[in-house]
Chains A and B, each alone.
Chain A
Amino acid sequence: MIPLLVLAQAAADAQPSPGQVGSGRVIGGWEFVTAAYVLTFLGIVLYAASLWVRRPRS
């Protein structure tokens, strides 16, 4: 990680360092991952609940 940062510093005027906007790499973004999986499980639970509510009662 340290040599990577040093190199990035050296090239700083030519290109942005890692994590900076336009660096070519997405850094972080766990909030999007969390949102995606929360939505997935919420969808499963809600759809399963809707099937349960509408279940045949005979």
Chain B
Amino acid sequence: MKNIVIAAVALVLAAGALGVIAFGKLGENLVYYWSPSQLLAQGDKAIGPTIRLGGVVAAGSIAWNANKTHLDFKVADGMLPTASFVTVSSNEIPPQMFREGIGVVVEGTYDKSGVFRTNRLMVNHSNKYRPPQEGQSQEEWQKSLLEEEPQATK
């Protein structure tokens, strides 16, 4: 009988904990990254502390300096040209998968001039895995990549 009570208590606690994790405000308080629009909505609160920003590398926004040690690009909410974006400035060498239209999460600080400075640039991969297409040129490939929504826009 005592053991049944233990089982019931453990199950109730487990259900409660799962409820909090799944439906509670936990996600809002312990958010892993902000999207560009969420960051912009924070106003001055976002300036200063180390935070993470996640989104898509906006098409045509990647600008390297001459010797490729410094990189500026825009992280946007989505692939639409009208999506809100934040300009990111990075001294970090990006991972090889970095390109236009891919999902990224950057860790760093947002400053008053509206630039997000990062020294930790991460690229995420969607749950889609494909073999390379036969005979597809680099340009066609680059173009095909821009047609899909990356993970970080969810």
Contact = CB atoms under 8 A, between A and B. Distances in A.
Given A15-B62, A24-B102, A24-B145, A4 B96 contact: no
Interface stretch (B13-21, B25-33, B43-51, B134-142): B134-142
A11 interface: yes
Interface string B81-106: 00000000000011111111010000
Nearest to B139: A7
Interface of B: 62, 64, 68, 71, 93-100, 102, 137-139, 142, 145
Interface string A15-39: 1101111111111000000000000
A11 B138 contact: yes
Nearest to A25: B96
B96 A11 contact: no
Prevailing SS type, chain A contact patch:
loop
Interface of A: 3-4, 7-8, 11, 15-16, 18-27
Contacts of B96: 19-27
Given A19-B96, A21-B96, A22-B62, 5 more contacts: A15-B100, A23-B96, A24-B96, A24-B98, A24-B99
A2 B138 CA distance: 11
Nearest to A7: B138
A22 B94 contact: yes
Contacts of B139: 7, 11
